[in-house]
Amino acid sequence: MTRVERHASFGGWQEVWQHRSDILHCEMKFAVYLPPQAANQPVPVLYWLSGLTCSEQNLITKAGFQRYAAELGVMVVAIDTSPRGEDVADDSAWDLGQGAGFYLNATQQPWAAHFLMYDYLTKEIPALIASHFPTNARQSIAGHSMGGHGALMVALKNPGLFQSVSAFAPIVAPSQVPWGQKAFTTYLGSDTTQWQQWDSLWLAENGHPLPPTLIDQGLADPFYPQQLTTELLENCCKEKSLPVTFRYHPDYDHSYYFISSFIEEHLRFHAAALTVS
């Protein structure tokens, strides 16, 4: 790995690292915020998954989370949203291809050669973090929009892996909305039964559990409710008695103005779960 950025921030360090991914077969970047406590002891980790068109840069430059991560002693790892590079398949549309990996393992060509974001997130990145950074192995996950879909889906598929989950404006039922249907058809093929394992609503409906979870949705979000369908998951979680809190915020949209307004509450929510003995 090569460190390509390092900035002092609230007594800790905001870093960006580049590495050759054995799973994605391309060069990748991820961001790590090391709180000041990490200089003396292992700390828990919060993984962040960004949305369509984003990279590891969006959270670290727009959300203002570092102040709270420093106070709470939480390492924050933000990964990219897809494989990148000239040899990686792409599409001219903004909601497909590079920048739009949907955190799944593609099965269709030409995507299957590189678009294995689920394996990258659940296998390669945690191994790199454990090997190179002072983590105590307690971890949580959060995300925005497509990344909210990823955070919920990965937690549902891996019971016990995370102490908590949170999401801003997540795509909760990708099989039922245009964004998800386009991506799933392209990456997974037209057999909709192959989509189910990547759909948070289907996973929750079929008995997959969640740890304590916080979901925030802005009511001025132009993608709500047609693309995000938040209430579908809320109704399911109520029926299944899953420990999920849904909050709806008048006037807030889909942007990082929304995320930065509530990121402190999300960090404190995760810190409480990560520090339980």
Which residues are known to be catalytic? 145, 221, 254
Q: Which of 143, 167, 158, 188 is nearest to 47 (CA)?
A: 143
Residues contacting residue 265 through CB under 8 Å, at least 6 positions apart: 214
Cα 131 to Cα 127: distance, rounded to the nearest angstrom: 6
User: Exposed/middle/buried for 203, CB within 10 Å: 0-12, 13-18, 19+?
Assistant: buried
How many residues in total does the chain contain? Answer: 277
Rg (CA), the chain: 17
Q: Are 210 and 165 in contact (CB under 8 A)?
A: yes
DSSP H/E element including 33:
strand 26-34
Q: Is 259 left (phi over 0), alpha (psi -120 to 50) or beta?
A: alpha
* Torsion angle of the four alpha carbons 136, 50, 148, 27, in this order, in degrees rounded to the nearest 10: -70
**What number of other Cβ atoms are within 10 A of residue 250's Cβ?**
7
- List the 135-144 sheet strands across, edge first: 2-9, 12-21, 26-34, 75-79, 43-49, 135-144, 165-168, 213-218, 244-249
